[in-house]
Each structure stands twice: as C-alpha cells, then as structure tokens.
Amino acid sequence: MPKQSTSTAGSHPGRVVDIDVKAEMEGSFLEYAYSVIYARALPDARDGLKPVHRRILHQMSEMGLRPERSHVKSARVVGEVMGKLHPHGDTAIYDALVRMAQPFSMRLPLIDGHGNFGSLDSGPAAMRYSEARLASAAMAMVEGTDEETVDFGANYDGALTEPIVLPAAFPNLLVNGATGIAVGMATNMAPHNLNEVVAAARHLLAHPSATLEELMQFVPGPDLPTGGKIVGLDGIRDAYESGRGSFRMRATTKIENVSAKRRGIVVTELPYMVGPEKVLEKIADLVRAKKLQGISDVIDLTDGQNGTRLVIEIKNGFHPEAVLEHLFKLTPMEETFSINAVALVHGRPQTLGLKTLLEVYLDHRIEVIRRRSEYRRRRASERLHLVDGLLIAILDIDKVIALIRGSDDSSAAKLGLIKKFNLSDLQATYILDMPLRRLTKFSSLELASEQSELQAKIAELTTLLENEKSLRALVSDELVAVAKSFGTPRRTVLLESSGIASVAVPLEVVDSPTRVLLSATGLIARTSEVTELSPSIWKLPRARHDVINSSVVTSSRGDLGVITSHGKIHRLKAIDLPVIPPLVSGTSLAGGAPLSEILHLEKGERPIALANLTEEGEGIALATAQGIIKRVQPEVLTNKDEWELISLKPQDEVIGATQLLTGKEEFVFVTDDAQLLHFNASLVRAQGRAASGVAGIALSSGAKVIYFTAFTSSKEDVVVTISSSTDALPGTVGSMKISDFTEFPGKGRATGGVRAHRFLKGEDELVAAYVGATPIRATTASGAPIDIELVKTKRDGSGSALPGPISVIFGPIQ
C-alpha cells in the first residue's frame, strides 16, 4: 500500500511526516481493542469483576462505607471513583454501581442501596437522589487488600495505586454472572447459587481430578435472581463443558379462579431480566394483531412487598393451559439465555468451562491465603523482634535509663544500647522512640505472654505455608464460612423438559356434557361428571355445613337458569362457571363460587333451583309458601337474561321449583302443620309468564308450605319429616319420622292433604321435610354429616328423638 503524506501543525508548522496508513490503523485499532477488552468490557476470572466494578468496591472500602456505617450520596461515590481511579463518564460508573445494588440483577448484591435503584421496567433515580454503602458480601470481596494479598498498580495518572484484582472470598463470577461486549468478543454468564458453587469448589479442592459430571452434581444449573424455571438441561452441560451453550428460561405460573366467572393465569416469577411491563406490552400487541386469542384482560398487581404478580384473565370457552403455551411461544414469558463464558485469565481473554472457572478462582484464592499468611508471619516476626528487645530492656530498666541520660545525643544512646545490651538497630531505635512513661509501664509478664503468643502464631503460619494440604483446607473452611453467612436456598427450578403433554390441548373448550351444581348456601360450580350422583356433602371453607340441593345436566356451552325465591329466573352460561373435579360420594369439594358474585340478586332474594334452558322438556313447576303452584310453558324458558316466572302475592315467596321431564310427575306439598298433599302434574295446566298460578294446596289458618318437589314416584320412596317447637331456641333437638310414600293417598289439587306427622308434647310445627329416594343423609348445625337409619313408622305416627339438631336433610342428586 502506498504511503500517505500527512501535514501536522502546532509546534512544528509545515512539518510533513510520511506514515503507512494501514500500519497506523492496525496499530491504533489493536490498542483500542486491547483497552476495551482489558480495561472495560471483560471481567477477570479471579474476582469476576470488570475494572469499574473493582474500582467502585475498592474506593468505597477506602471511604469507610462499610455495612455498619451510614449511607452516603451515590454522587459522592461516583465522584471519588471518577476522580481517583476511573477517568471515564460518571454515567458508566453510576450504572455499574446501580447494577451491583439490584437484587433482580445480582444473585448476591454487593452494594446496599437506599432509594430508587430502578426496576426491570424503569431506570434508577439520579445519583444525587440515591445513597449507597457496601453490602456485607462486598466486605468478603475486599477483605485482605491491606495485607498484601493482591498486587497494586498505578492509577491513570500515577498519583495513586489501585488493586489489580480483589481477594474475593467467594467465586463472584459464577455467583453473580457477568455481561459485556468488547471488540470482536462478548461475555454473557448466568448467576448461580452460592451454596452450590462453594460445594463444587470444595469438592474440586479435595479432588483436583474431579470430572464435570461430579461437579454438576453440586452445580446442576444456574440459579437466577428472579427465580422462574429453566427448561432443558442439555445446553447447560454444553456451557459447563465448553463455555458456550444456551437454555430456556420460563415464567412461574399457576392457573386458578381469578373471579367468580373467570379462570386465569397468575404469573409470580418472570425470566431473568424480563419486566412485567415488557410482558404486558407484548400481550397487548399480540391481542390487537389477533395473533393471541382467549385473553380478556391482563392486570399487573406487582409491588415491592408481594413481588411479581401478573393476572391474565382467560375468556370463557378457552383452555387456560393452551393459552399459556401460546404465551410461552409468543411473549417474553419464555426467553433463551445464551452462555458465553469469556473472561480474562492472566490478562488474556479465554472461553472457560465450569471446571476451569473454579480452578482459576481456587488458584487465586490459594495465592491470596498464602500471601496473607506470609504477610501476617512477617508482621508477627517484626513485632516479636521488638518484644524481644523490650524484654531485654525491661530486665535492666534502670541501666537503660541511665545510659540514655548519660549519652550526648540519640546516636550515642543508640550505639550504647546496641553495645551494652546486644540489641539490633531496629530494637534500639524502637526503645529510644518510645516515651519513657510507656517504657516503664511495660510488665515483663505481659511481654513474655505476648512473646509466647507471637512465637506460636509464627509457628502456626509457618506450618500452614509449608503444607499445601493445610493451605487448601483453610481455603475450604473459609468458603464454608462465606456460604454460611451469605448462602440462600435455590430460587430457580430446573426441568429436563417443558412437561407439555404429547397430545396438544385445544385452544377452545369443546362443547361437552357437564353437570351444574347449586348448594344450599348459594355456591355454584360445574363438573364433567354427568352420571347419577350419590349423596355427597359439599363442604367449603365459607360454610361449616353445606349440601348440594339442585343439579342440572347441560353442555359446557349451554344455557341454564337459576330460579329464585322472588319468582324470577336468571340465565347463566355454563362456560362462565368455575370447574370442580367430579364428585365422589362422601368427598369434600372446593372451588365453587358464591352465586351473588355472578348474579345481581335483590335483597332477600335466594336461589332455589337450577333449570336447563337448552332442552325445553315439559317446562318448570314451582310452588310458593302460600300454597300456589304454577306450571310454566316450555317456550317461556327461551326468553331474555332475566324474567319473572310467576306473579307473586305480597309476602309470598317461591319455596321450591323443579324441571319437568315427562309432565306426568307427582307434585308433593308438605306444610309446617304436618299436612302432605300429592297429586299428578297433569292436574295443573301450563300457563304463560304473566300468570299467577293456581291453588296447589288448601292451607289452614297460619300454615305455610315448607317443602315442594316433583318426581316420578316408586315403591322405595320415603317421606321424612322433622318436628320442633315454634318457641324453641336455635339448635334445639327435635324429632324425626320416616314413612313409606305409598302410605300417603293421592288427592286432588287444592285440597288439604293428609297428616304426615303426629306432634309430641311441646312440638307444634314441622321445620324440614324430604320426599324421594333413599339413601338419606343430613348435616347437623355444626356441619357434621349424619347417616339416617331407615326405621319406618306409620303415616301419622310420632317421630323419634334426633341425636342432634339437623340443619339440612337430603337424598340422592339425580
């Protein structure tokens, strides 16, 4: 390449220097690249720090900003570091300081920050607003720098010195990871668990020829500050073997009922360095672009006390599991972390595997302990030499004082002490420099004790330095102490695979049969079990006793109605209801939602029964407390979301309702004055919505209906009645009678019925009744289940005493 001429002005105007542009560019670029690699972008494999981080920690230690001291303004720290050690921009220094204080960036933070140090979605406050001091873990990094454990070099202007590397009492590069971009190379290392890394380091100390598989028994994978899950471990082994590999990070999620009508995905942990706002924005973009379906809302409930909490509400009709898999594929809820373990070893960048990283650190730590021991032995020897001189002087203190007083000057006094007492120059100088009052206060016993201690210490340090095995054992013991002080349990879960089933879950819920259940306390849910149900107590934390009192079979996308005590019917979609596992006889269930959270009911309005609005059947039959019965036409059931089924009289209410399947069922009324009436449903014609119904049973003065049902009777059906007193206190035990239903003759509509229970002395009313199939069960007022013994008596007989007050009595759910 031809030479180019360059004219330079200044101190030599008009001077022309011929240079080779190629050589100049190569040389300048290499100098720049070396500067970036060595002095800025890559961490040292020994302490895991870049120069800026090392300088911050060292300067804060020099400033005395230890954990027991007060915080100081971050701007003061940045100014000290920039003025004395790091001649670069204050922004770069402050950014490095902030990262060392962020618990979501560092597995073991080295700076104790006070104030706003940012979050995954927002930056920190300006350095003039935040404060900082060293964290306890940072003290383990800098401890020993004043004991000649590491080499020091000149700072940028040669006025001061700074450590080339820190003593580093724990493997910081593995524990906290690192990231940086240099010229032609980059580093990206994941954080790990301190306890696991220390265990691997100690094993390698004891077994230098340990294999990678042995070390991975202690360090199975990264442990990220934000927790989450790591899916697939093959890439981790590649990274530990060669220094390069990748793994997938996945958010920690759970599927739960987020409201009475909605299921949702709750995110409690996100992948490393992924913030909630980033996830929210991506989900919003995908939903707007119609690339992501099934999501109705996303709510960010993240705060400083409870941590990450994203609630992703799923539309009814979509499988949350399928939506979750789409979220993993399309959003940052699953990210890939690529490990590129590049670090400086003896000033040269190298790609290091797990074992090499541990070996470099351990070699450094062994050297630190050796140099520290040599320093301490030397200082102890120097002190012992002075103590020996003091002991000689103390034994003949009067002659020492007389010699000093009789000397013409200090030089003569020193020579006299050296000749007369056989002291060294250093010993004599130390005695002369010491004030007389201190010299006379020394006790020979104290000096002798200190002499023995120093001799023992020197012997101990000498043994340590001469025995490599003891040196390595000390390194191991100190690692244990560090792990005990700063170690925490693993946060990240490691998974061999994603756990996705081989058969993919469809995104939308298939329209399949489902059973909807309504409990006595107003809880509602659906289950995939549609076969005939045995009696099962539905016990939930909301109520101490509760039973299923209505059930309807429909489809998962079908409509159903809730009939209430105000004579209204409210339309619901089965898909909007919470799902519970299939019922098993005698099994407690959870997961139902209060109907009041799904429907808006008026004050005093209670749910009575469920009806299938998808299949018309023969309509609905309902009865009121004043003895009115109405049979509703089937076409009325296909109306709007809420409408009246009956026009009620003042002070009247619906006490029972049932859906008719054949129109030939038997209607049964039971009143509180112990009258039972039953007649065929054909005696009641269907009416329109505005009708008020017809008389069902003729009531005596003051009486009311307490029970109504419609069923296809059989010989095995029974009548159960429970009596008590009007004036009885709550919880009073009454009596119960069981009779065959066949003993009760049928009568016409609007008649008075027949007596179903003879009251004992003190009883004057029925408080509960049941007519239908067996077996029969009940719950006490305390919520305990009771199996009713089937002992039948005559139709108009008296009852037998109950073992306890019964709250609800029921039979099989059809």
* Residue % of the chain over a pLDDT of 70: 87
Residue 183 has pLDDT above 80, yes or no: no
What does DSSP assign to residue 743?
G
pLDDT exceeds cutoff 50 at 502: no
Question: Which pLDDT belongs to residue 731?
Answer: 57
pLDDT score for 541: 34
Return the ∠ at Cα 736 (arms to 628 and 712), rounded to 5°.
Answer: 50
Domains assigned to the chain: 252-332 (3.30.1360.40), 373-486 (1.10.268.10), 511-615 (no CATH), 617-814 (2.120.10.90)
Q: Give the C-alpha separation, 599 to 523, whole Å.
A: 12
For residue 744, how many other CB atoms are within 10 A of its CB?
Answer: 22
pLDDT of residue 392: 87
Helix (H, G, I), strand (E, B) or coil at 653: coil
pLDDT digits (tens, 9 = 90+) for 740-756: 999 999 999 999 999 99
> What are the percentages of helix, strand and coil residues in the chain, rounded to 5?
30, 25, 40
Q: What is the pLDDT of residues 24-77, one digit of tens each?
A: 676 665 665 555 566 677 999 999 999 999 999 999 999 999 999 999 999 999
Looking at every residue in the chain, the average pLDDT score rounds to 86
- Residues marked as catalytic: 129
* pLDDT tens string 656-691: 999 888 888 999 999 999 999 999 999 999 888 778
Phi, psi of 191 (to 5 degrees): -70, 155
Model confidence at 555: pLDDT above 90: no
SS3 label, residue 465: helix
Left (φ > 0), alpha (ψ -120 to 50) or beta: where does 296 sit? alpha
Residue 636 CB contacts under 8 Å (≥ 6 apart), including other chains: 619, 643, 645, 688, 689
pLDDT for residue 689: 77
What does the block give as tokens for 696?
A: 């069902």
Which residue is listed with tokens 């159903």? 560
Q: Is the dihedral of CA 644, 647, 652, 654 positive or negative?
A: negative
- What is the rounded CA–CA span in Å between residue 345 and residue 260? 60
Report the alpha-carbon distance of residue 538 to residue 549 in Å, rounded: 10
DSSP string across 180-234: EE-SS-EEEE----HHHHHHHHHHHHH-TT--HHHHHTT--S---TT--EEE-SH
Comparing 78-87, 167-176, 614-623, the range with the smallest average pLDDT is 614-623
Distance from C-alpha of 684 to C-alpha of 680, rounded to nearest angstrom: 8
pLDDT of residue 64: 95
User: From the CB of residue 589, how many other CB atoms can be counted at a distance below 10 Å?
Assistant: 22
Gap between the Cα atoms of 189 and 802, Å rounded: 73
Question: Which of 713, 546, 704, 711 has the alpha carbon at shortest distance from 621?
Answer: 711
What pLDDT score was predicted for residue 13? 64
**pLDDT at position 729 over 90:** no
Cα Rg of the chain, angstroms: 44
In order of 316, 434, 502, 598, 778, the CA distances from 260 in angstroms are 12, 85, 31, 6, 28
Look up tokens 């429970």; give the residue.
Answer: 722
- Measured from the Cβ of residue 586, the count of other Cβ atoms closer than 10 Å reads 11
Among 582, 578, 560, 562, which residue's Cα sits nearest to residue 570? 562
Which distant-in-sequence residues (6+ apart) come within 8 Å of 672 by Cβ? 703, 704, 705, 706, 765, 766, 767
* Count of other CB atoms within 10 angstroms of residue 69: 11
Q: Rounded to the nearest 10 degrees, how much is the dihedral formed by the CA atoms of 370, 372, 375, 381?
A: -80
Distance of CA 648 to the CA centre of its chain: 53
Q: Which amino acid is at 402?
A: A
Three-state DSSP class for residue 178? strand
Within a 13 Å sphere around the CA of 604, how many CA atoms are in the beta-carbon half? 6
Does 401 have pLDDT greater than 90?
no
Question: What is the distance between the alpha carbons of residues 738 and 812, in angstroms, rounded to a whole number?
Answer: 16
- pTM for the complete prediction? 0.74
Q: What is the pLDDT of residues 558-595, one digit of tens each?
A: 888 899 999 998 988 888 887 777 654 433 345 677 88
In whole angstroms, what is the distance from residue 253 CA to residue 112 CA? Answer: 30
E strands present in 330-481: 334-340, 342-345, 348-351
What is the per-residue pLDDT across 478-488, written as a single tens digit (0 to 9) for each?
999 999 999 99
* Chain segment 288-308, per-residue pLDDT in tens: 999 999 999 999 998 878 889
The predicted structure's pLDDT at residue 591: 62
Cα 433 to Cα 454: distance, rounded to the nearest angstrom: 22
Residues 290, 483: Cα–Cα separation, whole Å: 50
Give the closest residue to 543 by CA, choosing from 523, 526, 563, 525.
Answer: 523
Q: Cβ-count burial of 331 within 10 angstroms (0-12 exposed, 13-18 middle, 19+ buried)?
A: buried
Stated as kind and residue range, the H or E segment containing 729 is none
Segment of 32-46, 182-196, 729-743 carrying the highest mean pLDDT:
182-196
Residue 11's SS3 state is coil
